[in-house]
Each structure stands twice: as C-alpha cells, then as structure tokens.
Structure 1
C-alpha cells in the first residue's frame, strides 16, 4: 500500500491533494493497527473465557469473573467491529483522494472476464477492460473489478490520473452509463 500511495502522491497535481493523500494514508494505517490490536484483544478475551469455563468448578460462586470475561469479550468484539468500519472508511477516503485531481472519462467495455479464484460465499467478480478516447486522439485502456458483469459495448464512467495508454491499474470506477447518457453507480 505504501508504494501505491507514494506513486499517487507523485502523480497528484496540487499540494493540497498530496497532503490529503498522505493524511488519509496515515489514518488508514492507524486504523489498521487498531484492527490488529482489537483482534489480539478478542483472542485474549476468548482464551480467558475458555480458561474460566475449564476452571469454573474451582471458582464456584464467583460470578464476577464470568461477567468480567463476558463483558470484556463483547467489548473487544465491538472494538473490532468499530475499528474495521473506520479502517474501511479510511481506505475509501484514501482512494478518493488519490483520484481527486484525476480526469473523468466515459469508456466502452471491450472485455469481461470472470475471476476463477472466487469465494463461493461472495459470488463472482469480473475483470472489466474498458477503452476510452481522451484528450483528442489518445486512446487509453483500463481494467476494473466489479461484482456485476456488464455487457460488451456497455459504457462506463471512470476516473484516471494519467494518459498512459497501458496503465491498466490507474482507474477508479464511477458508474455505468445508461442509454440516455446518465450514470448509475
């Protein structure tokens, strides 16, 4: 992630955008560390609860330990849920910041490939190759990953930072374009 962030900082056009990318990357790292701490706390509390259950006969009549570990476990899982939510939000803000100075283009889907290494619980993902004519005569190609499969020839709106024709990863999906020209996300 650090290399990707540094690449987008170099591409950013304004000092404000570079500062925003750095700020969101730091925020994402902080929340990532918080997620790791919360996972450790969850493991610790679950282990304490198991130990308490095993040695419950020696602690007969002492329900304080039971409630302490139960409440501690619930709080640890609540912290994990909150930290994960904040980490995902920070990641989304970082990605938005990386494309803040980018150009928005409308391209045509030329290839759709279903991912073979998919998780059966989440369903298929599709690698969508799109081409777009930008800046007059420059034609660029990008690949984005989506959960829904568009049809070949369908138009989609995306953001990109460079005009490099083969920088396939320089893409932020904005939405599909309906026949009337308006987008849908």
Structure 2
C-alpha cells in the first residue's frame, strides 16, 4: 500500500490520481503561497513550474498582472488534465501552457524563462549535473530558480534529504554556474519543515 501511495504522489494516475492531486493542492497551500512570494514576480515574467501537479500554483501566479506566460511541466497525464481544467481560461488565452515531460530533458528552448520553480517534486528527480543543467539551460540570464521541499518534521531533520541538498543539489548548482545559491527557511506546514533552495543564472 505504501508503495502504491508513493507512486501516486510521484505520478498520479486515473481517478485515484485525481484525488491525490486535489489532496496535494490542499496540503501544500501554505508553502505554495510562500514560494510564489519568493519569486518576486515583476513585469513580463515567463515562468516554468516543474512538477505542476493539478495547477494550483499556476492559477495563483496567473492572477498577477506582471506575468506574461506560465508553463507547467509534469510526468502525469492525469495531473496535466487537472491543471488544464483549473487553468482553462488562461490556456485559451495563451498565457498558460501544459507539457508532459521530465526535468532531466525539458522539452523547451534555451533562455526561455525568467523564473523556474518547483514545489515538492525534487524528491522524485534524479539529482545530477544533467538535471540541473537543464534548469540552467531554459533560464534567461539573470533568471532565478526556486526549489521548495521539506527537510524534516516536528523538529527532526531528515538526514537523507539534507545530505541530498548539501552533497548533490547545491554543489551541482554551483558547478554549473548558478550564483547566490542559498537555503531559506519557510513555514512549517502540518509539522513539516519547509525550505527552499534558490539560485540565479
């Protein structure tokens, strides 16, 4: 059962996947709002969300007049259908687009976005220079990446996640040329410790 639930969180499928997608929308609202604040959206922003899920963050971002385009990338066809439904007006207007794809091979052009972000999707990435280089590639010069995740719960730090951040993610970002790489602490949500890793191209 745990394996089934983990797979649904990674790549929701069918009606059960729809349920998990909407559940994640409700669970992750505090860190979603916090992450969007971190983006510091300005005029003519072009934003990519990696692991867009059911499209709640996209819809929230699209309410801001500074945003020109938001693209959502996800592995799950079920989640993309939910995100398209949630953002159907923006999709019709051309200010939102949804793509099936993987962070290790982002199907988008170089220097396309001023902001790239993800919320609770990094746990399912293959963290290596290729993955991080794809994020770097699609960012415009001076564009920023914001990767939000949890690194513990109820006062306990998860050493596996912390080791991934300090031993793989941040070194890869610095190696590939990201500047101002740092960790910022966010709100605790349901006891989980929220942090974000930030970097600038």
Query: If the length of structure 2 is used for normalisation, what is the TM-score?
Result: 0.24
More helix by share: 1
TM-score between both structures, scaled by the size of structure 1: 0.26
| Bigger radius of gyration | 1
Higher strand share: 2
